[in-house]
């Protein structure tokens, strides 16, 4: 990247949000450990540095502290909460435990409107506080530019050295004008343009992939989900037929999923796509199993076995590509000193056997989920792939309660297809986090065609969420619910009743198993 902002992470729960807000300003941002050497930071040639918040106290024995050399890099630095206290610790100020902690909403009063950090902002701002310590003595060369009810040092600057500090969180939505403040920092103070976009990212990523891979071959486990699909499209753009995608049909896929993946990636993108039809193997191993956890373990082990065999059949390759995203790689830094860059197991592989010797290729590891969707659109992937809802790794197995049989999977697959079709037709599918059908191991009496029936029940689940950690059920229009129910009971043989799940998470989970 020609221009970037480096964020040093001191363990704040909001560090990733800071990075997200900087990118919303069309400027690239990257998160590094709090103790990254100044020389390493200098090699990145950042336009500016942000010191995140954090739960520690700078005066604590094992306080996380940066390399003091960052203050000699002659680039603008913005300290947020704990970052302000770092200024105090290193630059002649004083930090003490506050007599009154500040948590939640507060009012900031700007005392110096000439401060470039607060350019075009009103004299008073609603801000979000989350701190117990505070400055009690200004660092050398600094002056106060903003105050709050509980702190006379809520905003400070050393304009000559381009050092700025704020004792609140501008990155969270509870500071409504916080993005404007961050824009003032990256554009006005750091002098960044607006160069961060998907088109420029594609060029850079393609060059990096080619440089890393060279003439070697790459294998990617393609699930048809957003992350692996976008990774496949990007890598293919970079190295073409050096990439082989392995798609495993475990017999637990949604309607036409195998056909869609083969159509999009094989025939449209002309990728080397190795299709592994292992449906019979998976269903045989799941026969008679009803315990949800045992189902998952059987599916996970079977996938590893199938994938391992498939990689040998694909031929020698040096790299295994994964659709790992930024939030998967960068966690808020555990202050005990654990590395920040933690690589998760691949969603589909679930932990590779030691015998599989690959180097990892993770071209999406600097992107957030919505950026990955934008990248997919930039690469020409269809909306049905880029905007598709999350789908569990074990597939329909977690939505088919009780024993899994081919006929029950047929019922569930047909019902789920109707749900998706009607949600899309009513313009609701892309407005919800997940919408799907669940087949319950419950039969009830019904009347269909003037005959008594004793058939299964389908539960309809529709939830809204930001990250899947919590969720609330979606209040779908009655007319839409009625149409879904009518179609399922009329078109799917074996179902005579449809019910609606109105449980939030917590106390429930999004999936039923």
Q: Which among 6, 5, 16, 13 is positioned nearest to 328, based on CA atoms?
A: 16
* Model pLDDT, residue 101: 53
**CA angle (309, 311, 313) in 5-degree steps:** 75
Question: What's the pTM?
Answer: 0.73
Sort strands 143-148 and 94-110 into parallel, antiparallel or unpaired.
Answer: antiparallel
Residue-level pLDDT at 350: 41
Split at pLDDT 50, 70, 90, the class of 130 is low
Q: Is the pLDDT of residue 153 over 80?
A: yes
pLDDT value at position 369? 80
Distance CA 464, CA 462 (A): 7
The pLDDT, as a whole number, for residue 311 is: 92
pLDDT tens digits for range 317-340: 999 999 887 666 544 334 334 333
- Inter-residue contact 399 to 513 (CB < 8 Å): yes
| pLDDT tens track for 285-311 | 999 999 999 999 999 999 989 999 999
What does the pLDDT look like over 193-237, one tens digit per residue? 998 888 888 998 999 999 999 999 999 999 888 999 999 999 999
Average pLDDT, the chain: 88
Q: List, by residue number, the catalytic residues.
A: 81, 169, 171
Task: Write out pLDDT tens, residues 408-424.
Answer: 999 999 999 999 999 99
The angle subtended at Cα 250 by Cα 246 and Cα 256, nearest 5°, is 85
Return the higher-pLDDT residue of 355 and 158.
Answer: 158
Name beta bridge partners: 383: none
For the chain, helix, strand, coil in percent to 5 are 35, 25, 40
């Amino acid at each position: 990247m020609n221009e970037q902002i480096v964020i040093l992470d001191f363990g704040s729960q909001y560090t990733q949000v800071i990075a997200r807000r900087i990118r919303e300003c069309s400027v690239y941002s990257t998160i590094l450990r709090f103790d990254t050497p100044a020389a390493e930071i200098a090699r990145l040639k950042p336009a500016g540095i942000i010191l995140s918040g954090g739960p520690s106290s700078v005066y604590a024995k094992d306080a996380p502290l940066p390399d003091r050399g960052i203050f000699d890099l002659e680039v603008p630095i913005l300290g947020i909460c704990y970052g302000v206290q770092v200024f105090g610790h290193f630059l002649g100020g004083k930090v003490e435990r506050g007599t009154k902690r500040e948590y939640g909403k507060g009012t900031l009063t700007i005392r110096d409107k000439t401060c470039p950090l607060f350019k075009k902002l009103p004299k008073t701002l609603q801000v979000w506080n989350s701190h117990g310590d505070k400055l009690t003595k200004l660092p050398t060369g600094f002056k106060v530019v903003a105050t709050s009810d509980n702190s006379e040092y809520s905003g400070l600057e050393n304009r000559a050295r381009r050092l700025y500090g704020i004792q609140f969180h501008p990155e969270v939505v509870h500071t409504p004008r916080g993005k404007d403040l961050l824009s003032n920092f990256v554009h006005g103070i750091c002098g960044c343009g607006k160069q961060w976009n998907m088109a420029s990212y594609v060029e850079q990523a393609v060059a990096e992939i080619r440089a890393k891979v060279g003439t070697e071959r790459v294998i990617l486990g393609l699930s048809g989900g957003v992350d692996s699909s976008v990774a496949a499209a990007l890598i293919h753009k970079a190295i073409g037929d050096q990439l082989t995608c392995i798609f495993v049909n475990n017999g637990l896929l949604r309607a036409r999923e195998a056909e869609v993946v083969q159509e999009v990636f094989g025939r449209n993108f002309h990728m080397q796509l190795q299709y592994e039809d292992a449906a019979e193997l998976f269903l045989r191993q799941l026969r008679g199993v009803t315990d949800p956890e045992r189902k998952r373990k059987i599916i996970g082990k079977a996938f590893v076995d199938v994938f391992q065999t498939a990689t040998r059949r694909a031929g020698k390759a040096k790299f295994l590509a994964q659709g790992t995203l930024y939030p998967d790689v960068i966690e808020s830094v555990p202050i005990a000193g654990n590395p920040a860059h933690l690589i998760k197991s691949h969603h589909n592989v679930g932990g590779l056997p030691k015998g599989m010797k690959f180097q990892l290729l993770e071209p999406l590891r600097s992107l957030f989920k919505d950026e990955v969707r934008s990248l997919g659109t930039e690469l020409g992937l269809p909306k049905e792939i880029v905007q598709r809802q999350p789908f569990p790794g074990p597939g329909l197995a977690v939505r088919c309660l009780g024993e899994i049989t081919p006929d029950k999977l047929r019922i569930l697959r047909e019902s789920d297809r109707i749900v998706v079709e009607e949600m899309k037709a009513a313009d609701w599918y892309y407005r919800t986090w997940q919408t799907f059908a669940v087949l319950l191991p419950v039969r009830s009496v019904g009347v269909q065609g003037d005959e008594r029936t004793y058939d299964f029940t389908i539960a309809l689940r529709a939830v809204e969420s930001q990250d899947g950690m919590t969720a609330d059920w979606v209040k779908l229009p009655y007319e839409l619910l009625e149409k879904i129910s009518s179609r399922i009971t009329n078109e799917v043989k074996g179902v005579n009743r449809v019910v609606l799940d109105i449980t939030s998470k917590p106390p429930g989970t999004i999936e039923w198993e």
